């Protein structure tokens, strides 16, 4: 029996939809507004969309890593400022470490997309 192979867009969209539904149910259970706490979906969407878009470019992985690092560090810094949780330089170092990990994940996704499209 042949296994169905779905495109990365369908997999990413279904994952985001599933997480979206889980967040709505969680918000309803805790009596919060339906669309509360959805800033994480912006980052999850960027985690799938940005590598897909940049996989069409001819840039090498270092430039893609820098772009992903700027996007993730900017997102984490903005959400920290909005939550008033940006304390001192140690917060910035922690956010930078998390951003490096997120950028590595995005580069890994971009490599997977490039390999599948090359086949």
pLDDT in tens, 80-91: 888 777 778 888
Window from 30-34, 51-55, 91-95 with minimum mean pLDDT:
51-55
Among 66, 65, 72, smallest CA distance to 99 is for 72
Per-residue model confidence (pLDDT) at position 97:
95
Do residues 27 and 34 lie in contact, with contact meaning Cβ atoms separated by under 8 Å? yes
SS3 state at 60:
coil
Which residue in this structure is represented by tokens 């999850």? Answer: 44
pTM: 0.70
3-state secondary structure of 62: helix
**What's the pLDDT score for residue 79?**
83
Give the domain ranges of the chain. 8-118
pLDDT tens-place string over residues 44-80:
777 777 887 877 888 888 888 998 899 889 988 888 8
Tokens of 29: 């259970």
> How many Cβ atoms sit within 10 Å of the Cβ of residue 48?
19
Q: In the structure encoding, which two tokens stand for residue 47, read together?
A: 């985690």
CA angle (41, 28, 42) in 5-degree steps: 5
Place of tokens 């996007």: 71
**Would you say residue 3 has pLDDT above 70?**
no
Q: What average pLDDT score do residues 26-47 get? A: 81
């Amino acid at each position: 029996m042949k296994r169905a192979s779905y495109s990365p867009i369908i997999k990413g969209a279904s994952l985001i939809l599933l997480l979206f539904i889980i967040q709505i149910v969680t918000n309803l259970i805790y009596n919060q507004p339906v669309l509360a706490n959805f800033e994480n979906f912006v980052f999850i969407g960027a985690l799938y969309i940005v590598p897909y878009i940049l996989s069409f470019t001819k840039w090498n992985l270092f430039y893609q890593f820098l772009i992903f690092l700027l996007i993730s560090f900017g997102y984490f810094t903005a959400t920290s400022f909005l939550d008033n949780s940006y304390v001192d330089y140690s917060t910035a170092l922690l956010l930078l470490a998390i951003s490096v990990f997120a950028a590595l994940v995005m580069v890994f996704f971009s490599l997977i997309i490039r390999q599948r499209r090359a086949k």
